[in-house]
Chains A and B, each alone.
Chain A
Amino acid sequence: MESNLGWKEYLITRAIRVAGYSAIVFVTLIFYFLLREGLPTLAEVKLTELFALRWYPIEKYFGILPLISGSLIVTLGAALIAIPFGIGTAVFISEIAPRWAREILKPLVELLGGLPSVVLGFLGILVLAPKLRLLLNLPTGLTALTGSLLLGAIAVPTVVSVAEDALDSVPRSYREGAWALGATRWQTIWRVTLPAARSGVLTAVMLGVGRAIGETMTVMMVTGNAPVLVTSLGGLFSPVRTMTATIAAEMGEVANGSVHYHTLFFIGMVLFIISLIVNVTASAVVFRSQKRAERVLS
């Protein structure tokens, strides 16, 4: 009986261990593949040409700065929309809304999160872009701003549901302690509940931004895809092209092993590194504030 149990135990731990290690192996393999296909670019294209301002592969212009700037401005815009709106909605759902409103809003947000991004892109082209063009009197409605708005809409559900969970797990006694001291609802949220939930709220923001950076379909549909360097916030109102959209649009028609092919993988590497930086910063910050919070709250 006992040896039988020990044997099962052995199998199960083994299986779990294999699953865990294989995740690491897969990520390593993907990274290796990315490096193998992307690094040759450094030999084929001069660094000064690579970090130049013109992306026009057919004429052998491989400057990726416009693409990087395009991704950054669209993501930045999306974050500026998704963070306040997402955290605000989370606070509303968990702290302010009456119960019936909460019960409608929560599943609604989840539903919104499950909307395929192609559908949002469609709405962007058909509804949002024409409206923006008229409203802002632009030559075209397909701009970085359009992308930002849609990406913001894509990131909001993630931010809301993660931040809402974090707020929800703050013990009720914290709030009551503050209320009993005569703090208003708003003072309690601002000075007790949000600070107590800060690591979860931060995670929410990072996951939301992470989703925005990696999103391809929507931005490809609505940002106009003009590889132009963005140098100021005014660039929000003109067409841009992001790294993800470039890879998605061009990978299909490029000759295997060509310079263009390698450069697309190189862009993938850059994207990978950017999201790595975002993630590592996020977990470092979360980890730090968690340790501080544990010291203080446990």
Chain B
Amino acid sequence: MNKIEIENLTLQYSDGNESLRNVSMGIRENAITVLFGPAGGGKSSLLRCLNRLNDMADVQTAVGRIMLDGENILDPKTDVIALRRKVGMVFARPVVLPLSIRGNLTYGLEVMGESRRSKLDDAVERSLKQAALWDEVKDRLDDQAIALSGGQQQRLCVARSLALEPEVILLDEPTSGLDPISTAKVEASLQELKKDYTIILVPHSVQQAARAADFAAFFLQGELVEYAEGKSIFTTPVNKRTEDYVTGRFG
């Protein structure tokens, strides 16, 4: 089942360059879809369309449709706040808010108006377990989040978006600042999470793309060059440019 259908999406920032050119792709539920390619390809731009974070940037035009569960989220009438709770996002550099570990996890729920202690505690425990962080922090939930290691902070950010019970999770190079062990932990928790969520990942290397992808899309300068199952795109790419990139001839 496709959770998201992107139809003829073209995105232009105010400098006039087309950062995405007529992109169409379906994104499968309960799978990890990887968006990869060289810098400036439009991967982050696409992610930021999916939760309308681009509303805050100076986008000039965004034409086309993005259907999430059959509704066009680019429609001006879309409830953006509700959309962002349904589509969580994790950034390249972990952005922990200047709060305690618990405070980071409950922030999203609190701004939603949830104040029941039991609900909040449940969400904290559930999301930390899902992000494979519970055992490491369960005894110090009230410590400042900034005191965690980089890898723990990034998993905290994953947990923070999970606390809102989203349906889709966007991850933009979530392991770019992490050591190999933390990276492996994040990747492992993604494999667990895909059972319940739709995951879209911009990896920080082709290797990671190959490891994580159920499906993979190769972006080059705003263009979706090739989109296929992960197994095939990294072993037998169809397009010459994809082949050059995955075999390391450029990029």
Looking at B3-11, B27-35, B90-98, B188-196, the stretch in contact with chain A turns out to be B90-98
Check A173–B93 contact: CB distance below 8 A: yes
B81 partner residues in chain A, CB cutoff 8 A: 182, 184
Check A179–B108 contact: CB distance below 8 A: no
Check B56–A176 contact: CB distance below 8 A: yes
Query: Is the C-beta of B139 less than 8 angstroms from some C-beta in chain A?
Result: no
Q: Which of A179, A181, A183, A196 is most buried by chain B, counting CB atoms within 10 A of its CB?
A: A181
Shortest beta-carbon distance from A77 to chain B in Å: 34
Pick from A99, A177, A179, A297: contact of B58, CB under 8 Å: A99
Q: How far is A297 from B58 in the complex, measured between Cα atoms in Å?
A: 28
Query: Is the C-beta of B152 less than 8 angstroms from some C-beta in chain A?
Result: no
Query: Is the C-beta of A17 less than 8 angstroms from some C-beta in chain B?
Result: no
Residues from 164 to 214 in A contacting B, C-beta threshold 8 Å: 173-184, 187, 191-192, 195-196
Q: In the complex, what residue of chain A is closest to B157 when comparing beta carbons?
A: A177
Q: How far is A173 from B157 in the complex, measured between Cα atoms in Å?
A: 13
A175 partner residues in chain B, CB cutoff 8 A: 56
Given A181-B164, A182-B164: A174 touches B97 (CB 8 Å cut-off):
yes
Query: Is the C-beta of A39 less than 8 angstroms from some C-beta in chain B?
Result: no
Check B84–A180 contact: CB distance below 8 A: yes
Given A196-B98, A293-B98: A183 touches B111 (CB 8 Å cut-off):
yes
Q: How far is A94 from B206 in the complex, measured between Cα atoms in Å?
A: 38
A27 partner residues in chain B, CB cutoff 8 A: none
Query: Is the C-beta of B89 less than 8 angstroms from some C-beta in chain A?
Result: yes
B157 partner residues in chain A, CB cutoff 8 A: 177
Q: How far is A146 from B100 in the complex, measured between Cα atoms in Å?
A: 46
Check A173–B95 contact: CB distance below 8 A: yes
A196 partner residues in chain B, CB cutoff 8 A: 98
A23 partner residues in chain B, CB cutoff 8 A: none
B53 partner residues in chain A, CB cutoff 8 A: 176, 179-180
Shortest beta-carbon distance from A177 to chain B in Å: 4
Q: How far is A178 from B112 in the complex, measured between Cα atoms in Å?
A: 12
Return the CB mask of A87-107 against B: 1 if under 8 Å, else 0: 000000000000100000000
B141 partner residues in chain A, CB cutoff 8 A: none
Pick from A180, A181, A296: contact of B98, CB under 8 Å: A296
Check B111–A180 contact: CB distance below 8 A: no
Given A184-B111, A187-B111, A296-B146: A178 touches B97 (CB 8 Å cut-off):
yes
Q: How far is A175 from B55 in the complex, measured between Cα atoms in Å?
A: 13
Check B88–A180 contact: CB distance below 8 A: yes
Q: In the complex, what residue of chain B is closest to A180 when comparing beta carbons?
A: B89
Given A173-B91, A187-B111: A180 touches B97 (CB 8 Å cut-off):
no
Given A173-B93, A176-B91: A182 touches B98 (CB 8 Å cut-off):
no
Shortest beta-carbon distance from B170 to chain A in Å: 8
Shortest beta-carbon distance from A115 to chain B in Å: 33
Ranked nearest first, the 7 interchain pairs of A and B with the lowest CB-CB distance are: A177-B95, A181-B108, A180-B89, A182-B85, A182-B84, A296-B98, A183-B111
24 CB < 8 A contacts A-B: A173-B93, A173-B95, A174-B95, A175-B56, A176-B53, A176-B56, A176-B91, A178-B107, A180-B84, A180-B161, A181-B108, A181-B164, A182-B85, A182-B108, A182-B112, A183-B107, A187-B111, A192-B97, A192-B98, A195-B98, A293-B98, A295-B144, A295-B146, A296-B98
- Residues of B whose CB lies within 8 Å of any CB of A are 51, 53, 56, 58, 81-82, 84-85, 88-89, 91, 93, 95, 97-98, 107-108, 111-112, 144, 146, 157, 160-161, 164
Additional pairs, 6, CB under 8 Å, beyond known A173-B91, A174-B97, A183-B108: A177-B95, A179-B53, A180-B161, A181-B88, A181-B160, A191-B107
- Residues of A whose CB lies within 8 Å of any CB of B are 99, 173-184, 187, 191-192, 195-196, 293, 295-298
